[in-house]
Amino acid sequence: MGVPSLEVSNNTSGEKHKYMLTQEVINIGRDSSNDIVIKDRIVSSFHAQIVREGNRYVLIHPHPDRQQTLNGLFYHGRKIRGDEPFRQPLTPNDLFRIGDEHGTFVTLTYNDGSGVTGENVPEVHPIALGAAEINIGRLADNTVVLPHPQISGHHVRLVRAKGTYQILDLGSTNHVYVNGERATNQLLKLGDVIRVGPYRLTYTGTQLMQFDESSYIRIDALHLMKFGNKQVPLLNERQSTLQRPGLLSQSRCLQHANWVRTAG
């Protein structure tokens, strides 16, 4: 077993730095007194902290000496607000991002030192918001083009309304999901996670953080239940997700086994 580490990379400069996690407490931020110094304006002076608890490490946001950070975090596509307390025990290949409305982001990737090859990291392509109307689909006349066979020619539209955006499904083949629920016409809230085919879009208010998971297979199951002898419940999961890299398709298994189709 090797030494756990944290890799820090920047999407604008392309720089990557690896830091060995050998202390009980590791401070992360822009200030030069931190153990891991990230000299980027989107990172707060004291942004986060990693602490050892027994045989594991835990990431804490915001830094315990601060009440909030400027840009918060992204974790598993969810926006962690700058003033939102967040604790996450680190698991192999955990990935956190710090980003702003201009599409700049810093990625923190945890390696537990086991030598196990990590999963492919989904590519991120920030989509700037601001226009009164944004069309998303597979065809070239859309504002945002998502070139994948599971995406309809004209899949979804965002319309500015009431200080946010309203999301409209344009009669797509494979539908639109917001926070795991099918959506046809609704207002977006900060941190909402939109799924369009193999793309995951996180709404931050000023942009969509687009995570391209087209090289993954993902199965979402709702109300999954299994019974044993005498109808004893062995499994009762309201929602379960299985996702693995390396396969060039994506499937969604819903309550009535509606499988994803190639869009027309």
pLDDT in tens, 55-89: 899 999 999 999 999 999 988 778 899 999 999 99
pLDDT exceeding 90 applies to what percent of the chain?
A: 51
Long-range contacts of 8-13 (CB under 8 A, 24+ apart): 8/36, 8/38, 8/106, 8/107, 8/108, 9/106, 9/107, 9/109, 10/40, 10/104, 10/105, 10/106, 10/107, 11/103, 11/104, 11/105, 11/106, 11/107, 11/124, 12/104
For 182-229, write each residue's pLDDT tens digit.
999 999 998 888 999 888 888 888 888 887 766 555 555 556 666 667
Round the average pLDDT of the chain to a whole number and report it.
Answer: 82
Q: What is the mean pLDDT of residues 240-254?
A: 42
Over 70: is that where the pLDDT of 237 sits?
A: no
**Residues comprising the chain, all counted:** 264
What pLDDT sits at residue 152?
94
pLDDT at 50 over 90: yes
Torsion of CA 214, 124, 126, 199, to 10 degrees: 20
Does residue 57 or residue 238 have the better pLDDT?
Answer: 57
Residue-level pLDDT at 102: 73
Residue 150 contacts residue 128 (beta carbons within 8 Å): no
Determine the Cα–Cα distance for residues 262 and 199; give it in Å rounded to an integer: 15
- What confidence tens digit (pLDDT) does each residue in 109-131 have? 999 887 665 555 556 677 888 89
pLDDT for res 134: 95
Mean local confidence (pLDDT), 28-36:
97
Task: Give the residue-averaged pLDDT of 34-43.
Answer: 96
Q: What is the pLDDT of residues 135-157, one digit of tens each?
A: 999 999 999 998 888 899 999 99
| Per-residue pLDDT, 233 | 64
**pLDDT value at position 259?**
43
Give me the mean pLDDT over the 225-253 stretch.
52
Instruction: For residue 230, report the phi and psi dihedrals to the nearest 5 degrees.
Output: 55, 30
User: What value does the mean pLDDT take over residues 44-52?
Assistant: 97
- Assessment of whether the complete model's pTM goes beyond 0.85: no
Q: Which residue has better confidence, 93 or 58?
A: 58
Residue with more model confidence, 12 or 91: 91
| pLDDT at 209 (0 to 100) | 82
**pLDDT number for residue 258:** 40
Q: In a 10 Å sphere around its CB, with 0-12 CB exposed, 13-18 middle and 19+ buried, how is residue 40 labelled?
A: middle
pLDDT at res. 104:
83
